[in-house]
């Protein structure tokens, strides 16, 4: 079962709109406006990701909220940015490369990692949310599933060396 949408919040709606529409290529298809708190309102923006699933953004205008609330779904909780993140499906390695080049063309820094069974690119949106495009590069096997169950129950699993990331900087940052 796929997602209908995943929602995050923003404190900078214009920058977030540029990131998801221009830099990432999603289309804004719907905005709902509703009440928030006693006298405030909230805009709920929906972006078509290209496969029927949507990315949604909340822009909150509510004086009852604390002034210092954080939009980071990981960093706002004191966690590393990579823990809570949003990963979108890339069709294949060529699609992944095209998405990387699109981000770079829009001055977005990109980190790329070949995980051995999938290949990913990562960027951070204007809200401090890590966004990933990922494509599987091999089928997961019965042996993968067996290993997954063993690692799940292992209180001291073997730690493998992390893959070496490749960092791509937009021309403006070089």
Whether pTM > 0.85 for this model: the answer is yes
Percent of the chain beyond pLDDT 90? 93
Claim to verify: residue 42 and residue 85 sit in the same structural domain: no
- pLDDT at residue 63, as a whole number: 92
Claim to verify: residue 124 and residue 45 sit in the same structural domain: no
Claim to verify: residue 64 and residue 134 sit in the same structural domain: no
- What is the chain's mean pLDDT, rounded? 96
Residues 104/110, Cβ–Cβ less than 8 Å = yes
pLDDT at 13 over 90: yes
Claim to verify: residue 31 and residue 51 sit in the same structural domain: yes
Q: How many domains does the chain have?
A: 2
Claim to verify: residue 86 and residue 121 sit in the same structural domain: yes
pLDDT at 172 over 90: no
Claim to verify: residue 19 and residue 75 sit in the same structural domain: no
Claim to verify: residue 79 and residue 38 sit in the same structural domain: no
Report the CATH number at residue 119: 3.10.180
Percent of the chain beyond pLDDT 70? 100
Burial bucket for residue 112 (CB in 10 Å: 0-12, 13-18, 19+):
middle
pLDDT at 171 over 90: no
Claim to verify: residue 61 and residue 86 sit in the same structural domain: no
| CA 103 to the chain's CA centroid | 13
- Write the DSSP symbol of residue 117: S
Q: Which domain holds residue 33?
A: 1-68
Structure-token pair, residue 4: 């209908």
pLDDT in tens, 67-84: 999 999 999 999 999 999
- pLDDT at residue 163, as a whole number: 93
Claim to verify: residue 55 and residue 77 sit in the same structural domain: no
Report the CATH number at residue 25: 3.10.180.10
pLDDT in tens, 87-140: 999 999 999 999 999 999 999 999 999 999 999 999 999 999 999 999 999 999
Residue 24: strand, helix, or coil: coil
pLDDT in tens, 22-79: 999 999 999 999 999 899 999 999 999 999 899 999 999 999 999 999 999 999 999 9
Claim to verify: residue 55 and residue 128 sit in the same structural domain: no
Claim to verify: residue 52 and residue 134 sit in the same structural domain: no
């Amino acid at each position: 079962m796929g997602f209908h949408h995943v929602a995050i919040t923003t404190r900078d709606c214009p920058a977030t709109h540029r990131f998801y529409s221009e830099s990432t290529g999603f289309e804004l298809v719907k905005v709902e406006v509703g009440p928030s708190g006693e006298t405030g309102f909230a805009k709920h923006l929906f972006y078509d990701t290209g496969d029927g699933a949507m990315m949604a953004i909340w822009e909150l205008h509510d004086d009852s909220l604390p002034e210092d609330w954080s939009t980071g779904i990981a960093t706002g909780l004191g966690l590393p940015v990579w823990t809570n993140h949003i990963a979108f499906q890339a069709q294949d390695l060529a699609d992944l490369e095209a998405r990387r080049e699109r981000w770079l063309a829009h001055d977005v820094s990109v980190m790329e990692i070949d995980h051995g069974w999938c290949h990913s690119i990562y960027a951070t949106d204007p809200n401090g949310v890590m966004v990933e495009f990922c494509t599987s590069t091999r089928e997961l096997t019965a042996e993968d599933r067996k290993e997954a169950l063993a690692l799940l129950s292992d209180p001291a699993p073997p730690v493998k060396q992390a893959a070496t990331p490749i960092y791509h900087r937009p021309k403006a940052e070089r």
